[in-house]
A and B are shown apart, each in its own frame.
Chain A
């Protein structure tokens, strides 16, 4: 197992050194390496256990110093329920990236594929790293290949775009690194004994046991925020993104949107939320506001674009806004939604960028106005475009729906179900505005499809002599996996949710506990619940179950604004795929959940709780 993960990291690296010679050979080697990595990643996903907070394929070796030295930097990699998915996504999109530039890249092809494989190594390493230094090394290491990919194979303004991308990310990331270093040093100075550890797991554990004082957390969080928010990007810091996306070659755009943006959200979830819970809770209103600002701003700007690639780039800003919205709603639904949205955005936006690249290859334009009615000329392209578009606007049955729906549930839950805090009105407004973002999203995406693929056939002049052909096998092979996984994510999200929720529960429990302590200290705390010390309140008493333990039982039903009245989805329509317990009328709580799904908790609390407290005990607590 450990060797499998190390293999997955070494294969692209070895491929990068192997790539040479003529273009045909170089791209074959690159494709082979990417496919091999994908196979290994699939194997890792397949054997990941559902319903438990596992960490698989852990490889750990001393690198700098050691357990007895003053400093203990380790070569340590492994996958848990969060990184597993992003690791798999990277492996999948890397294959797509190799395929997408198959014919378009004719200059310096070996160098191109070498950089692509190095980029893949860096991205895989970011998600696999279990040591802060290793994480940062891989993180920065992704910059050089992508910088070169944009700068050499990009379009007109490529040099500016490459340098801007690099500098924005670097300025942010050095500040983030300072924040991470501050965490390590603080831990070392206060935990006292032993070597200075950089292990993410150990630091998370120790900071949960002995948290930093809130004002220190706030400063460290701001440092982390500087880098991660650039990477996501959150709205005032997004200005590098449209330029970089538009100027990058298709493969660069696919990987940039598909994987590299996720590193920001991943960093928040990996470092900020578990290690600095107090700061995250303190900043929550601002973070949520920025997220919604991103959703709306990205959507409105996307509406006004005349360039397809630019439109998709701004749609990324909007979608990543949803991601951070769910993340900082700080409840299980929102967090899961955020991770599902990360996966889905990687697939759908990666696919959209690939499609735009394919259109550009055929027509040498990205302008929406120059194209029209292409569905007749390129039916396969139209089909895939429609699938990706429908998924990204949240059509039920495709991945985007699950992500956005869970995020919005989480946000509404934050606004209505939680014990009222000082910011409750803001949260409610933000929740409603986020829904408006969904509507805008549908508008600009469908409008794009309508203008480009339907209506009268319109193609750039001078090219009519040889009408371009529809997608060939290579291009369909490049898009089909994305569509299939999107469909899978939409039809059977439990496969994903079961494997990620216990990990997410662990990562967010401290933040939820802090929030709970600040707003509703009288009810069962998330931490006690997680550790099995307190019985869960009957699931289903809440509006959607997820946050039911964090609100006073008395308020259920007594609340004038009952979420059930607002939520348009009943148990029958979405309970089957989000988990039977997630939405339930108050009357059918215990017997229903115990009868139909005896072993599985709802995704929010995770199954460990269910295992630790047998079913009989679980439903006979003091509250039932």
Chain B
């Protein structure tokens, strides 16, 4: 048993070991250049370990399901792209940077696959603590210090709130195992469900910071602005994936409180996307703008999660959880591509802060500007790019919610139709600020001659993201199919059933 558990955890172990090795070696080796290849090699090794796993199944504290596997792959891929991007941005603190990055990736992977409260919490802390370091290295000025401090205090607070919520959950169900908790709460009496509702509120509040959802979003613009492009890219992807993995797992483990849960999540979704989009319209700082964009996308992800929680018969054609997973993937691609392009365009002397500084780059740097435009259009949700399918599955999931046939079902439909309408309107509003960046890129006269940089890593990261965005857009079937197969809490046997006989489900 322990051996199999270790085999399942091998990718995370590889990453953690590599991180520790890089930390240690950093004290003795003066080289600046060695760390990036080392970190890249560690991620490739972890990917190999993940790919070579013979069988994955629930084991001890590990959920070992398709949901976790998809997210582990996504995090690993995001980590690789981040390593590609991270050239020279790290100056003297390269070992610390790459070590922390690997640890955070390992933490997010662990959180994706965790099936037990304590492991989940520890995994989330494993994401948080390296993040403090990541935000600080690379830009040691007052703004960066302020951003890191802000994030640190809020993160600690949110961890405490989350822990408090988990203790309620343990109190209600008498177990720390998520599967057991789900079973217990499904047949629990009313007062226990009330306890679960308190737990749910605290869990949502605690994780809202990780995923940057309103009203726990307000650190994001300041922190994004205060850190580097690289730090912002990391912050908008890795903690968010970990947070959503934890949130989905925890909320799905509280079936009795689901009715309360999806309403809370839907309200947060609408608040996040509306507020963030409204605020983003007025931003001139690029990272601040992208911070609001990231909050708005959190809103979309929460909308998908709400649909997944409310669906009584899971696994319909448009499952909310599948939509959330798919959206996470395409969001990560679009965001990482955007930040990679910005890192590349930043030049050797500094970074691009202002939207106006991108003026005319469509003419002077056509390739990287093209990649940036593709990623931005994907974030907007323009077909045939990947982002369109993300928006499509989320909206379809919201419209397709089929609650059980009781008196309240009409009300539930109305909620989700309103959610879908507000989502698409928000998508259109978001187009305004993405479009503004594209307009500056292409419709303005170049400010200066292009700065020649040698940031091949960032260039290739941006190009890879843009190409993947187009590829997934043209051929989204495989990824969508994988996501559809990955609802947590469903045993593999029933999954096979569901996929082979879709008609049974739809007629029921």
Chain A interface (Cβ within 8 Å of chain B)?
63-65, 68-71, 108, 133, 136-137, 140-141, 143-144, 147-148, 151-152, 158-159, 162-163, 166-167, 170-171, 174-175, 177-178, 181-182, 185, 188-189, 192-196
Contacts and interface: CB of A to CB of B under 8 A. Distances in A.
A195 B502 contact: yes
Contacts of A152: 442-443
Nearest to A150: B443
B436 interface: yes
Contacts of B436: 163
B352 interface: no
A170 B432 CA distance: 10
Given A70-B317, A144-B377, A194-B503, A177 B431 contact: no
Given A148-B442, A151-B442, A162-B439, A188 B506 contact: yes
Nearest to A68: B502
A195 B317 CA distance: 8
A65 B479 CA distance: 11
A336 B99 CA distance: 70
Nearest to A108: B363
A188 B476 contact: no
Contacts of A166: 431, 435
A388 B384 CA distance: 37
Given A143-B382, A152-B443, A171-B428, A192 B506 contact: yes
Interface stretch (B22-30, B145-153, B286-294, B392-400): B392-400
Contacts of A174: 424-425, 427-428
A140 B477 contact: no
A177 B396 CA distance: 11
Contact of A163 (B399, B428, B435): B435
A167 B431 contact: yes
A65 B432 contact: no
B316 interface: yes
Contacts of A71: 317-318
Main secondary structure of the interface of B (DSSP, over half): helix
Chain A's interface: helix, strand, loop or mixed, by majority?
helix
B262 interface: no
A178 B424 contact: yes
B396 A159 contact: no
Given A64-B476, A167-B428, A182-B399, A193 B503 contact: yes
Interface residues of B, number: 37
Given A174-B425, A178-B420, 20 more contacts: A68-B502, A70-B502, A133-B392, A136-B383, A137-B384, A143-B382, A151-B442, A151-B443, A159-B443, A163-B432, A167-B428, A167-B435, A170-B428, A175-B425, A178-B421, A181-B392, A181-B395, A188-B506, A189-B506, A195-B502
A151 B436 CA distance: 11
7 contacts: A144-B382, A166-B431, A174-B425, A175-B421, A178-B399, A181-B392, A193-B503
B435 A70 contact: no
B480 interface: yes
A192 B392 CA distance: 21
Given A70-B502, A137-B383, A158-B443, A185 B435 contact: no
B450 to A, nearest CB: 16
Interface string B364-393: 000000000000010000111000100010
A170 B442 CA distance: 20
B402 interface: yes
Nearest to A158: B443
Nearest to A136: B383
Interface string B426-445: 01100110011001001100
A457 B316 CA distance: 72
Contacts of B442: 148, 151-152
B455 interface: no
Nearest to A223: B421
B487 to A, nearest CB: 13
B55 interface: no
